[in-house]
Structure 1
Amino acid sequence: MEKTYLTTDELAKKIKYDCRTIRERLKDSVLIEGVHYFRPFGGRKILYIWEVIEQDMRVSGHGFGIPMANGEVCHG
C-alpha cells in the first residue's frame, strides 16, 4: 500500500482544521506518533500519514470530534 505523507499545513487544508489546532490539540492526543505521524530522520519536521488518519476518521463515525479545553475530545 502506497502512503501519502502530508505536512501540518497540507493536513489542515485536507481536514479543514487550523494548523494550530492540529499542533496544540490533536497531536499526541488523537494523532499519535508512530501511528498517525513520524519525524523523518529523527528531526523536528513532522509528516502525517494520510491513509491512517482517513481510516481512523471513518472508523470513529464522528470524525475527529471537537477538541476540548482540557485536552479531551467531544464526540457528541
Structure 2
Amino acid sequence: MAHVYLTTSELAERIKYDVRTIRERLKDRVLLEGIHYIRPFGGRKILYLWEPIERDMKLYSAEESFGVPMARGGVCHG
C-alpha cells in the first residue's frame, strides 16, 4: 500500500487548520511520531502520514458525538 506523505502546510490545507496550530498544539499531543508523522533519514523535516490521521479524525469525532466519557478514559455508547 502506498502512503500519502504531507508537509505541515499540505496537512493544514487538508484539515483546515493553521500551520502554527499543527506545530504547537497538535504535534506530539494528538499527532504522534511513528504513528501520524515521521522524520525521514533522521533529519528535522517532518512528513505526516495521511491515512492514520484521517482514520483517527473519524474515530475521535464518532466517539465524541455519540458517547459519554467515563472516569477511566472509556466511552459509554448508550
TM-score (norm 2): 0.77
Once residues 40 and 61 of structure 1 are traced to their aligned partners in structure 2, the CA distance between those partners, rounded to angstroms, is 29
Deviation track 1:18-75 (CA, whole Å, cap 9, x = no partner) reads: 000000000000000000000000000000000110000001126xxxxxxxxxxxxx
Once residues 61 and 2 of structure 1 are traced to their aligned partners in structure 2, the CA distance between those partners, rounded to angstroms, is 25
Larger radius of gyration: 2
Equivalent residue pairs, number: 62
Once residues 58 and 2 of structure 1 are traced to their aligned partners in structure 2, the CA distance between those partners, rounded to angstroms, is 20
- What residue number does 2:21 align with? 21
Aligned-residue identity in percent: 69
- What residue number does 2:46 align with? 46
Once residues 15 and 61 of structure 1 are traced to their aligned partners in structure 2, the CA distance between those partners, rounded to angstroms, is 13
Q: Which amino acid aligns with 1:29?
A: R
- Provide the secondary structure at the position in 2 that maps to 1:51: helix
Unaligned stretches of 5+ in structure 2?
63-78
Unaligned stretches of 5+ in structure 1?
63-76
Q: Which runs of 4+ in 1 moved over 2 A?
A: none
- How large is the Cα RMSD of the aligned pairs? 0.9
Instruction: Name whichever structure is richer in helix by fraction.
Output: 2
